Amino acid sequence: AQRVTQPEKLLSVFKGAPVELKCNYSYSGSPELFWYVQYSRQRLQLLLRHISRESIKGFTADLNKGETSFHLKKPFAQEEDSAMYYCALLGNTPLVFGKGTRLSVIA
């Protein structure tokens, strides 16, 4: 079975502080991992995917198969980063989402 766990419902950080949104997954095969973001009053959208190994809006995420994790990181948080973040896994079934972490960046 596929499962995605985001242990934090809410994460509050100060502007300029580093951010790490945790994501752990359970899947026996080789998964594809994604981070989606939903800003206030906007639709859910893809932020980044592990296979592209890119940095989007300063965010990066590394797939750690040994720890079955895909944490999202940003060295310096900005107020506009405040949003709901969902980690998602694509295995042998349709995309499965974690329950999400609300990031609040305090000025």
Partner 1 sequence: KAGVTQTPRYLIKTRGQQVTLSCSPISGHRSVSWYQQTPGQGLQFLFEYFSETQRNKGNFPGRFSGRQFSNSRSEMNVSTLELGDSALYLCASSPGQGIGELFFGEGSRLTVL
Residues engaged in binding partner 1 (CB under 8 A)? 32, 34, 43-46, 49, 86, 88, 90, 93-100
The type of residue at 105 is V
Q: How far is CA 92 from the centre of its chain?
A: 20
**DSSP code at position 16:** T
Closest CA to 35 of 18, 24, 50: 50
Least CB distance to partner 1 at residue 49 (A): 6
Least CB distance to partner 1 at residue 6 (A): 9
CB-nearer residue toward partner 1: 8 or 32: 32
Q: Is 95 helix (H, G, I), strand (E, B) or coil?
A: coil
CB-nearer residue toward partner 1: 16 or 99: 99
Least CB distance to partner 1 at residue 51 (A): 9
